[in-house]
Amino acid sequence: MLVNGKWSANWTPVSKTDGKGGFVRPTSGFRGWVGKDGFEAEAGRYHLYVALICPWASRTLIARKLKGLEDVVSVSITSPVMTDEGWTFGGYDGATDDPVNGARAMHQIYTAADPVFTGRATVPVLWDGKRKTIVNNESADILRMMNDFGGLASGVDLYPEHLRDRIDATNDAIYDTLNNGVYRSGFAQSQEAYDSAVADVFATLDRMEGEIEGPFLFGDALTETDIRLFVTLVRFDPAYHGLFKTNLRRIADYPRLTAFLKTMLAVPGVRETVSVDHIKRGYYSLKALNPSGIVPTGPLLDWD
Ligand SMILES: N[C@@H](CCC(=O)N[C@@H](CS)C(=O)NCC(=O)O)C(=O)O
């Protein structure tokens, strides 16, 4: 992580716990909004930094596709392998360089925005090429922001008025127990914290299996909640089930969640945001959880 703008190389997955060995995710520091806050909506001005391994970053990448923002917001993709320098650019199939800032590593984007930044150099990051700063590094904000993007977005409404209460309630219900629940399981520092996280994960999967109306969560409308659920489901069998020990059941054991996963993959634009290779290679390169770095051959996925 960065401390007063200096990179410290001893990366560990957990920087904060709840006192009982439970993983606590740090909050995001940059919370600007395109269309407000002096970040005028302009095509070609903004750049998105993502890792394909990362569910939070993938939310924003999917929104960029579904909202017709590919020509408005450019993208850099990091290598999936977490290094001593954190996320780095290039050097891996499907990873790109950083044509905007010429950075070697993601932490340089943070210090370009704030030379004395303290915190983790996370993805996603939405960068403003004009003001040369980070607009926002919170995926929930970027996903919501891209629904409109100061009037430049088009396509499906991911946050329709009549579903907002259900969207907000379901987002809240699945964040801690499932989206972050898998991390609370994998990064648990005590048996108690792990047991509680795994119980949350499967209670929520069971609940979602019952609640999905089909083809999407709330019926025919594809909303941001579908994106938030999908990014966790698509990583579950290839990575979380093994590495994070969320192994009571696989998504493949849930017929309706599997049907939903395949529906999402068939939505134009979504499949190309998913790289099972980046997901497996990335998660299994977390040395704290997998010191050998060996990536498992399986599982066989009937959707990949
Ligand atoms: N709150 C952030 C969390 C993002 C996040 O934790 N990203 C992970 C990758 S999946 C990351 O970049 N971690 C680097 C680190 O922890 O040093 C968001 O949702 O945007």
pLDDT tens for each residue of 289-300 = 999 999 999 999
Task: Supply the pLDDT for residue 14.
Answer: 84
Q: What sections of 219-288 are H helices per DSSP?
A: 224-235, 241-243, 255-266, 276-283
Task: Supply the pLDDT for residue 28.
Answer: 79
Mean pLDDT of 123-151: 98
pLDDT tens, position by position, 212-226? 999 999 999 999 999
pTM: 0.97
Give catalytic status of residue 110 as yes or no: no
119 within ligand 1 shell (Cβ under 6 A): no
Mean pLDDT of 164-189: 98
Task: Supply the pLDDT for residue 241.
Answer: 98
Q: At what angle do helices 139-146 and 224-235 cross, to 10 degrees?
A: 130
Beta bridge partners of 252: none
Task: Supply the pLDDT for residue 105.
Answer: 98
Distances (CA, A) of 13 to 185, 257, 290: 12, 29, 12
Task: Supply the pLDDT for residue 296.
Answer: 98
- Ranges 6-10, 47-51, 60-64, 235-239: which has the least confidence: 6-10
Measured CA to CA, the distance from residue 76 to residue 95 in angstroms comes to 8
Q: Six-digit token pair at 189?
A: 């520092």
How far, in Å, from the CA of 187 to the mean position of ligand 1?
A: 13
Task: Supply the pLDDT for residue 9.
Answer: 82
196 within ligand 1 shell (Cβ under 6 A): no
Task: Supply the pLDDT for residue 273.
Answer: 98
141 within ligand 1 shell (Cβ under 6 A): no
- Secondary structure (DSSP) of 7-25: E-----S-S-B-SSS-B-P
Percent of the residues in the chain that have a pLDDT greater than 90, as a whole number:
94
Q: Is 151 exposed, middle or buried (0-12, 13-18, 19+ CB in 10 A)?
A: exposed
Measured CA to CA, the distance from residue 132 to residue 73 in angstroms comes to 15
Mean pLDDT of 90-112: 98
Of 183, 240, 283, 284, the active-site residue reads 183
**pLDDT confidence tier of residue 54, bands split at 50, 70 and 90:** very high
106 within ligand 1 shell (Cβ under 6 A): no
* Type of residue at 208: M
Task: Supply the pLDDT for residue 157.
Answer: 98
Q: What sections of 147-275 are H helices per DSSP?
A: 164-174, 181-186, 191-211, 224-235, 241-243, 255-266
Q: Are 273 and 52 in contact (CB under 8 A)?
A: yes
Sign of the alpha-carbon dihedral angle for 199, 204, 205, 210: positive
Q: How many CB atoms lie within 10 A of CB 261?
A: 21
Task: Supply the pLDDT for residue 2.
Answer: 95
Task: Supply the pLDDT for residue 79.
Answer: 98
pLDDT tens, position by position, 6-37? 999 877 888 788 989 999 888 878 999 999 98
Ligand 1 test: best mutation among 122, 137, 284, most atoms within 8 Å of CB?
Answer: 122
Give catalytic status of residue 54 as yes or no: yes
Task: Supply the pLDDT for residue 45.
Answer: 98
